[in-house]
Structure formats: structure tokens, C-alpha cells
Structure 1
């Protein structure tokens, strides 16, 4: 490891002058990186769609869905004018995870079109005011669309910083270290580069030499052979999960104007029994969550609970 590394207060062993580290990573990224279509655009709408789709979904799986989505709704105005049920149906058909993300994306587009005259906020604080856009997504859109973001800190970036510069497993330390490393005014290329490093070289099983990691010269883990990293929560199994059942409810309701609970239940679970563990009360609770998310409408009618997609 280079002897230029200097320990900062709680930030790990980051070089006092990080310019060589910065240059090495950017040159590595610009010489060869994975090609994703959203890396070739600076349109905030297209980038927001990619960021929302990428939440807990492998990037390779997102590509086709992203292209199909933009073919159908190429602009924020097109999405804002769409029937929300159609957007949710698209989300379900492409297995993109929680359907409320589709609802929030639709509402964010509506905000931009109708409340901001089509003008997108250009910084993380402004983007965070859009429906369903949290701090991480706001910063990513600000970085990749406007080159106006802070350092991105996701699971991959934490792993890289922990291994390379012995940054403590502490959110505040990761934020401080990431921000100290990022070159001023270069959030677009830097955040893409550091996430790429975590995605192809500093993975759970590192490929330091195979991927030509540009930080080997400074890397604490490469020097010591200790490649432990912060614990990474595992995504719960999808099969049989509440997330899967929510998707099934929305998918089934897309084929019918409305259904009672007892007509809906067997179409969601083959083991549905009105008075069973996965029966009427279980389904009532599930559709209640979807109603709270604005995805379905629930009505009590003549002693029956009737459910339909929200319009």
C-alpha cells in the first residue's frame, strides 16, 4: 500500500491528497465499463425511471423493462397522462418489485408536469420533493442528469470504502469518506465509477486482479488479505412472500372490473380458504395495504368486501 495514506477522524485511511486515487478510478472506468442504456442519457425522467426500476433488482434484468417502459411512455408528460392502473400493470408484468413504486413514479411525473410546468429540480433537495423519491434516488438523479449531486453511498460503495480505506462500518463515516474522495463538480462520472468498481471488481467475492482494480496500490484489504465487509442484508425469498401476493392481487384485478374477497382469494393463492390461515382476514389485510398505497379501491357492499384497481 502506498505510504501516502493518512488517517482521518473516523473516515479510515484515505490519502491526504486523494487526487491520484480519483484519477486512477476515473481512468479505469472510462477505459472500460458495463454498458447500460441509462448511462448514455442525461434526461432526468429516463434516469429516474432507471433508478426506481433498479431498486433491489439486478441491472441486467432492468434493461428490457426500461426500454419497454420508455417505448410506451417516452416522456414525463406521457406518463403523467397515463392511467395509473396501466402503469401498475406494466410493473407487475415485468416483475419489478413493489407496485407502489409504479404509483410513486406516476405521481412524480404528474408533479413535474402539472406543478412545475415540466421543469425538473436540479439538486438533491429539490428532487426529494417529488413523490416517492428518497435521498439516495434524488442524489443519483442529480448526479447523473445534472452532474450536481453528492457522493452516492449504497451497499456496493460501503463495501469498497470499507475494504480499500478501512472505513468503519458506520453510516456517518461512509458518508464523510465518500464525500471526501469525490472530485468537486464531477458527481456524474465519479458516482458511476465507484459503483462500477463495487459491481465488477470489489464484489462480495473480490476480483481485484481479474478486473484490474485501480485501487490495489492503496487498498487495505489487498495488502492484508482481509476482504471482510459490512454485512449485506439478504432480500427475502420472493416465492410465497407478501410482495409476491401483492403483485398477484394487482395482476388478477387487472383482468376483472372488480371481485369480492372470496372470488379474488383463490385466484391469488390455490390454498385460499375463507376461514383458513390464508383466508378472508389475511386477504383483507393484504388489500388494505394496497388500498393505503393507492393501488386498489375497497368497498363494502351488501355484506361483502369488493376490490378493484384504483382509477
Structure 2
């Protein structure tokens, strides 16, 4: 059992770990399976090259990922290795940054200087030989520990941890705004940086920072956005999620409640919740569990409910079956 597992299983006391669900392994498996089944494709997710990942992380700061992808490819076409970037004229790098509207020019200067640090062996373990040639330690070799990566110019704890995770599978749990939103909503974690770090760390499986941090960021980016898409994105944590159960989707970066009451998303969620407690239900038995004003022939009646379940069926979440003159719904 990992330290995180042991901590999650401890009882008593008040603290962030008390927010963890009882079955941490099931929570982990659900998220990783959801991510591996289908996720957005970005080229930096297909590489373990620390230089390429560092470029993507620096570019992604306060810039939409869709815009980053084009700039990232063009940047690497021009400076394909850390050696190429280190040898470049700083003005050219800054000019590229400005021309692609990538935000603060200081990030370009810092990235250029970080490349020089790596090539010159100015970061990393003190016992590693520096400046030892193309294949020697320090010449183009990135350090693998987050603390060492944080020695690079302009690389803060978050970026260092992301590079360690995605390049070397050697990071800690990433905690950014999206991850905080997920943890706040799903497990009612207090809005406190230390609490978020503790819960995020306890959830992450040992030795799996690459897939786990990618999955957490994907969850916050496509299912648990400021306006969530729980059912539409097939959020894997719905059965444990405090916000999904209560309908309150506020979060640290979402100070006011998004429109939810009476929405189709809310009704879909009620269908899923009701069916999760039963093997199957006829529509007329399911209906009152979704809307208290359900009447089979009313505006929000059998045909309305059939269409709602059909939506879920189209998303692979439910199915309908005609049996003995009535329609029966169940989860897949």
C-alpha cells in the first residue's frame, strides 16, 4: 500500500484528507480509464522530450491551447533542440514570441536563458559533470527532479512539476486552477492551497504522475469547466461528486452559481442518479424521481423523459428497452 493509500485509509481527525472518498482506488481507476479511452490530442502529449514539453508549458501560460499548438510546432521547426535555442539570438526568440501573440515577452527571454542553462550544465545535481560534451552530463540534459527543474530561469514550481511529470513521470500532483476547481466540486475540499495540495497528492497513484496529471487537467478542461458538462463529457467522478449530487457548481474561480436549476443537464443528472440506484426502471417509475411534476401524458411526461434517456443513450450512458408494453431504462 502506498503512503497516499495508507493516509487515505486513516480514520478520525479533521483535515483535508477527510475529504477523500472511501474507495480511493475506484476513483483513480475511473479517472484514468476515462482519460485513456478518449482525450483531446495535443502534440506535447505524444512526446517525453523535456525540451518540447518545457516549450509547451511556457507557451500555455495564459494562452489558449488551440493557439499554442500552431506556435509550438513553428517554434520547434525553427529551434528543434535545446542546443538550437541556446545558440539563437535572443532578439529572434522574442520576435517570434511577439509575432505569435504569446503574451509577456519576458517568458521568451526566460525560455532562451533556461536553454542556455541546460546546455551549459548550470542546473541539476552538484555531482553531475558539467560541460562534458554532446553526450556528457550537463550538455543538453535536463534534470529530472522538480526542485532541480525549478532552478531554470522563469520556471516556477508548477512548470517544474509539469515537466518532471510529463517528461520523466517523476512529478508530484499538479495543482492548477482547473485541478482546484475539480477537487473543490468533487470532494468539497476547502478553498485553501495547502488543502488542495494534500488531497491532490493523496489521490495521485505512486509512480504515475504522467497519466494522472494529464487526466486531472483533462477533467478540469473538458468536463469540469466553469460551466460544467458532467453528463455530456461523461465525467467519471459523478457517482462521488458533491457538486453533482447537490447541484451547486460554484468553485474558487466560479463565484456565482451557473444556470443549472431546471436545466436539461440537471435533469440528465437526475436520471443517471436514479438509475444508478436501481438495475432498471420503467419510464413511469423513473419519471417522478426526475421531476416531482411528472405525469405520463404531460409536458414533462413520458415522451419528454424518453427523449432525455435517449440523449444519455446516444452518449453511451444509458439504454432503453421495450418490454411487455412499457419502456424500461437502465444504465450501461
Q: Taking structure 2 as the reference length, what is the TM-score of the superposition?
A: 0.67
In 2: Cα distance, 1:232 partner to 1:211 partner: 19
SS in 2 for 1:15: coil
**Structure 1 residue 92 corresponds to structure 2 residue 98:** yes
Q: 2:75 aligns with which of 60, 64, 69?
A: 69
Aligned match of 1:224:
246
Task: Report SS of the residue matched to 2:19.
Answer: strand
Question: Contact 2:17/2:202 (CA < 8 Å) preserved in 1?
Answer: no
Deviation readout 1:275-296 (Å, 9 max, x if unpaired): xxxxxxxxxxxxxxxxxxxxxx
CA distance in 1 between partners of 2:153 and 2:146 (Å)? 13
Post-superposition Cα deviations, 1:217-272, rounded to whole Å, max 9, x if no partner, equal 10000011111100369xxxxxxxxxxxxxxxxxxxxxxxxxxxxxxxxxxxxxxx
Distance in 2, Cα, partners of 1:89 & 1:18? 48
Unaligned segments of structure 1, at least 5 residues: 234-311
**Structure 1: distance between partners of 2:201 and 2:239:** 21
Q: Note if contact 2:35-2:215 (Cα within 8 Å) is conserved in structure 1.
A: yes
Q: Which stretches of structure 1, 4 residues or longer, exceed 6 Å deviation after superposition?
A: none
Residue 230 of structure 2 corresponds to: 208
Distance in 2 (alpha carbons) for counterparts of 1:186 and 1:80 = 31
1:106 corresponds in structure 2 to: 112
User: Shift of residue 106 of structure 1?
Assistant: 0.4
Q: In the comparison of the two structures, how many residue pairs are matched? A: 230
C-alpha distance in 2 between matches for 1:122 and 1:16? 33
Q: Is the 8 A contact 1:149 1:187 kept in 2?
A: yes
Q: Which residue of 2 aligns with 1:79?
A: 85
Kindly state the Cα deviation for residue 105 of structure 1 after the two structures are TM-superposed: 0.4
Q: Which residue of 2 aligns with 1:148?
A: 170
Question: CA separation in 1, counterparts of 2:37 and 2:159?
Answer: 26
Structure 2 counterpart of 1:118, from 97, 121, 140: 140
Identify the residue that residue 9 of structure 1 maps to in structure 2: 15
2:183 aligned with 1:161, yes or no? yes
- Asked if the contact 1:22–1:181 (Cα under 8 Å) also holds between the matched residues in 2, the reply is yes
Tell me the equivalent position of 1:45.
51
- Report the equivalent of 2:201: 179
**Equivalent residue number for residue 35 of structure 1:** 41
State the 1:15 CA deviation.
Answer: 1.7
Counterpart of 2:36 in 1: which secondary structure?
A: helix
Structure 2 regions of 5+ residues with no counterpart?
Answer: 1-8, 122-137, 256-332
Distance 1:29 1:112 in 2: 32
Separation (CA, whole Å) in 2 of partners of 1:129 and 1:13:
34
